[in-house]
């Protein structure tokens, strides 16, 4: 059986591609670097992260990109002996504009080096490349209309001005021919995330609609001609939980169709798993997979006979889900960052961390403050469980309160909690808490432990946090001396979510647990981390 979500934690906008017996899913990474996560499976049950292909400044430079911008909704496909990856780099979120630039990169293999990007257009986001049976290639994306009151967290349907179609020429590497608006969307509105495929003489178009919150849906339409007109599915939506608030998988929408070699059919979609009582999705938007069937009317339906996605669906043969260890232990040996970890925005990671100056340690180089959109020394992994514990140990000798290093539960500049080592003019070296519980737009911090607790002037300090659904508690101890000591009150971990702070549609990435440092004096103070552990609770 397939158990959803198949990619837990922040893994939205899943584009699925099959090559032989191999399946690949590409998901959005937004402001996290390197860009795009690609997972691989041969049984649709067990998935492994195998590549983040956008890894050079020439492919992706997100310095200055606002929160929840960067890489939106990639599309992964295979044709002509190579993989094709289409992606958007969104440069603006608030206000009327989006400034969404679309590119194509290619590679003969998933694991290999990907090409330099080819710029395509900027008319809207969520681009997709369709390879037709006659060899022609078609580029589709939603069109953004800036002439409406659609600001950041308050999307309005008129801004989502239909799905554009234009032919793309692989020889000239450019669009050609007329631009046609082929689909205005259903009455649900907010049409985006287009994917085309062809079957039995029909062109099928799936789109995401309703916004990426609790009204989200996969809408389906078809036409005999690629440029329309498109008729809506009898149920209008292929997948949605919008009218079923009790469903385990909420926010279901934005996905892609795939067939197995023996003709079985599935459809990916993103989803969220809200926690009561405030229905906040602390794991962000995750990836799920649904079993589908073709009926005599020539339309695709969920196999369960409804539009509501299932947690468990039939897989391929007798494939079983491999049990994952409760604990993930990360060392920083070998001079390479563990694969689960990412950083923010910059294509120059050597400016914010290195693993060679002190072998066996992750050395963070203090640069700009928490929440900087340019050069923030923060390295973290996705939160994949509603309850977990994270631990680390740091060597850090600050000589001013402007130098800080520690352990962080992070979403964006407005939503984070951190336990830190710093310097206080009366306490000396100390441990305290920095918190921002969703204060938008100002990003004002609070200090739940006030000045903090004095600690010895030298020596390694262990830091930990326990998140139990909506509650977070920080701990500390001087390494080798005494037991873990709680610090500060229980904090609201649920604010580290899509719905926290600004609310639904205000942001849509996911929660991370990691380490960070900053030095706003400009002296680039370093902090050395020896290990990092993540335990499911």
Which positions are annotated as active-site residues?
375
Q: How far is CA 98 from CA 43, 94, 95, 170, in A?
A: 38, 8, 8, 27
Q: Which residues lie across from 208 on neighbouring strands? A: 192, 218
Task: Provide CB contacts within 8 A for 227, sequence distance 6+.
Answer: 165, 180, 182
Check residue 256 and report its DSSP letter.
-
- 467 CB neighbour count, 10 Å cutoff: 25
- 122 CB neighbour count, 10 Å cutoff: 16
Question: CA angle at residue 298 from 296 to 302, to 5 degrees?
Answer: 85
Q: How far is CA 363 from CA 251, 358, 378, 379, 519, in A?
A: 39, 7, 11, 10, 14
Tell me the C-alpha distance between 483 and 499, whole Å.
Answer: 36
Residue 175 token pair: 């669009």
Q: How buried is 167 (Cβ within 10 angstroms: 0-12 exposed, 13-18 middle, 19+ buried)? A: middle
**Nearest to 36, CA basis, from 21, 22, 53:** 53
Edge-to-edge order in the sheet of strand 128-131: 128-131, 137-144, 160-169, 174-183
């Amino acid at each position: 059986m397939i158990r959803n979500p198949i990619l837990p934690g922040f893994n939205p906008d899943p584009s699925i591609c099959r090559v032989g017996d191999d399946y690949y899913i590409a998901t959005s990474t937004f402001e996290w670097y390197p860009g795009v996560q690609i997972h691989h499976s041969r049984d649709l049950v067990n998935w492994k992260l195998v590549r983040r292909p956008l890894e050079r400044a020439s492919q992706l430079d997100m310095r200055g990109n606002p929160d929840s911008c960067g890489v939106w909704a990639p599309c992964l496909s295979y044709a002509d002996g190579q993989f094709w990856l289409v992606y958007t780099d969104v440069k603006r979120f608030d206000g009327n504009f989006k400034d969404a630039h679309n590119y194509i990169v290619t590679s003969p293999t998933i694991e290999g080096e990907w090409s330099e990007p080819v710029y395509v257009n900027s008319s809207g986001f969520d681009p997709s490349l369709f390879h037709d049976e006659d060899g022609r290639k078609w580029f589709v994306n939603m069109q953004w209309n800036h002439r409406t009151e659609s600001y950041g967290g308050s999307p309005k349907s008129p801004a989502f001005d239909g799905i554009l179609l234009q032919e793309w020429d692989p020889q000239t590497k450019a669009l050609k021919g007329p631009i046609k608006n082929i689909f205005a969307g259903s009455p649900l509105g907010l049409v985006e995330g287009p994917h085309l495929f062809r079957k039995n003489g029909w062109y099928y178009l799936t789109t995401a609609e309703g916004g990426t919150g609790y009204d989200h849906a996969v809408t389906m339409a078809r036409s005999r001609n690629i440029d329309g007109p498109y008729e809506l599915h009898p149920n209008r939506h292929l997948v949605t939980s919008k009218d079923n608030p009790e469903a385990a998988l909420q926010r279901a929408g934005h996905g892609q169709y795939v067939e197995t070699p023996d003709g079985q059919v599935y459809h990916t979609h993103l989803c969220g798993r809200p926690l009561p009582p405030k229905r906040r999705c602390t794991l962000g938007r995750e990836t799920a997979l649904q079993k589908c069937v073709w009926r005599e009317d020539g339309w695709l339906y969920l196999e369960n006979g409804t539009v509501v996605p299932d947690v468990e669906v039939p897989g391929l043969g007798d494939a079983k889900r491999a049990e994952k260890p409760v604990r993930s232990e990360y060392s920083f040996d070998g001079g390479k960052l563990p694969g689960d970890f990412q950083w923010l925005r910059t294509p120059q990671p050597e400016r914010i961390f290195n693993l060679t100056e002190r072998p066996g340690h992750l050395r963070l180089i203090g640069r700009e403050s928490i929440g900087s959109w340019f050069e923030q020394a923060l390295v973290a992994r996705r939160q994949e469980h509603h309850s977990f514990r994270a631990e680390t140990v740091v060597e850090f000798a600050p000589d001013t309160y402007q130098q800080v290093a520690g352990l962080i539960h992070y979403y964006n500049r407005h939503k984070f909690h951190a336990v830190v080592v710093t310097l206080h003019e009366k306490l000396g070296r100390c441990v305290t808490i920095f918190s921002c519980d969703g204060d938008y737009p100002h990003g004002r911090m609070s200090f739940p432990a006030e000045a903090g607790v004095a600690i010895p002037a030298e020596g390694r300090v262990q830091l930990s946090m326990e998140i139990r659904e909506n509650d977070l508690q920080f701990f500390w101890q001087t390494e080798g001396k005494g037991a873990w000591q709680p610090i500060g009150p229980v904090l609201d971990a649920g604010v580290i979510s899509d719905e926290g702070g600004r609310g639904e549609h205000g942001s849509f990435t996911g929660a991370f647990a990691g380490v960070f440092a900053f030095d706003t004096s400009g002296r680039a103070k370093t902090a050395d981390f020896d290990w990092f552990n993540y335990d499911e609770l």
